[in-house]
Structure 1
């Protein structure tokens, strides 16, 4: 069975690296014959710092499905077309927005150096901040602030993009229309292997709709009717996640040949 894990708010909390206990558990179920992958709103560059070196070659679906890395290499990406990206940037400038654009690995932004979100961008300094005109592919645009934010959001909804609002941070991200985590997983796994997913937010809806078994971390209302079961976010959440992963690993044990 394939296990797919969202990161932030699912197995990674308050921006800190995933606990060694959880990561050890994921490697345990791989030794039992399962496969493990990760799907996040983060670009793949920023997924690696919350994992550890043992997961460098795992399946990484980043930027809500706009990029996929495997075995440390870019397997596929879906950029926002240039004409649309230019239109979006023009609108953002009309609203004096602060925003960050992820390329396949590098990034560009117009934020002041003190913006708190920048502390989460490329903490390993494995990428480069480039100018907007140096971008090769606009994969995801993260809108951190802007004048008349509701009006800005409404204008973005009229465009050919996929939107995700992250209520905890008050930020909006957009990718090209049709981009999502499940579409990226489908492109990677053409045979359509059944999967189990763990998630917590709106960008996990597409996975929950297609999973054989889904586990909601927390109480995000739109996922409740789609989830097979849920785990509360409390001071025992890490132990609860590990117990559930082991239970599902045993329940979906791969057939021995």
Structure 2
């Protein structure tokens, strides 16, 4: 994400007293006063390998999430970013243009066919380009997937396919 876009987003969330999760290449900044909506606080860095640092300590962001946000996205039109809205958690995932799971995968595996698993709107591009796509859960953004599984049936599916021992 470009520095000017990141600075604009930083000022936006601070001035609006908004909740956020900002990822760097290793650490993160989290402010989430309404975890009952996003249900994310306990899922972040469960092994305590990174640090929750101040937003002001971040010089370069990889991903900027605005949490619990029900506002309009028009304010972001001037930025050179991609936005994925998560209706169920009222959150926005913001990354630099053309930076997503699919483009990152293709950077390392330029022509290989692959099987993709995903559960959220930020998995759409990766799953759409997969030779075989598996949606976990019932997210309507993934209604094009080749297969649909619940989190409970995924382990059985992998054992049947012998992808897991």
Bin the TM-score by the shorter chain: 0.7 to 0.9
Equivalent residue, structure 2, for 1:193: 112
SS at match of 2:26: coil
SS at match of 1:150: coil
Structure 1 residue 157: deviation in Å? 4.5
Q: 2:67 aligns with which of 144, 155, 163?
A: 144
Equivalenced residue count is 160
Asked if 2 retains the 8 angstrom alpha-carbon contact of 1:97 and 1:143, the reply is: yes
Structure 1 residue 206: deviation in Å? 0.7
The TM-score with structure 1 as length reference comes to 0.54
Distance 1:183 1:108 in 2: 25
Equivalent residue, structure 2, for 1:67: none
Query: Could you give the per-residue CA deviations for residues 133-158 of structure 1, whole angstroms, max 9, x where no partner exists?
Result: 32242111121235xx323x332244
Equivalent residue, structure 2, for 1:217: 136
Distance 2:156 2:41 in 1: 34
Aligned alpha-carbon RMSD (Å): 2.5
Structure 1 residue 227: deviation in Å? 1.6
Query: Could you give the per-residue CA deviations for residues 113-169 of structure 1, whole angstroms, max 9, x where no partner exists?
Result: x856433332322222223332242111121235xx323x33224422121222332
Equivalent residue, structure 1, for 2:87: 167
Structure 1 residue 248: deviation in Å? 4.2
Structure 1 residues 121 and 244 mapped into 2: Cα distance closer, same or farther (>3 Å)? Answer: closer
Equivalent residue, structure 2, for 1:156: 76
Structure 1 residues 136 and 246 mapped into 2: Cα distance closer, same or farther (>3 Å)? Answer: same
Equivalent residue, structure 2, for 1:106: 27
SS at match of 1:92: helix
Q: 2:47 aligns with which of 92, 115, 124?
A: 124
Structure 1 residue 81: deviation in Å? 1.1
Asked if 1 retains the 8 angstrom alpha-carbon contact of 2:21 and 2:65, the reply is: yes
The TM-score with structure 2 as length reference comes to 0.80
Asked if 2 retains the 8 angstrom alpha-carbon contact of 1:157 and 1:163, the reply is: no
Instruction: Work out which of the two has the higher radius of gyration on C-alpha atoms and give 1 or 2.
Output: 1
Question: Is 2:158 the partner of 1:245?
Answer: yes
Name stretches of at least 5 consecutive residues in structure 1 with no aligned partner: 1-79, 251-257
Q: 2:57 aligns with which of 126, 134, 140?
A: 134
Structure 1 residues 206 and 115 mapped into 2: Cα distance closer, same or farther (>3 Å)? Answer: closer
SS at match of 1:99: strand
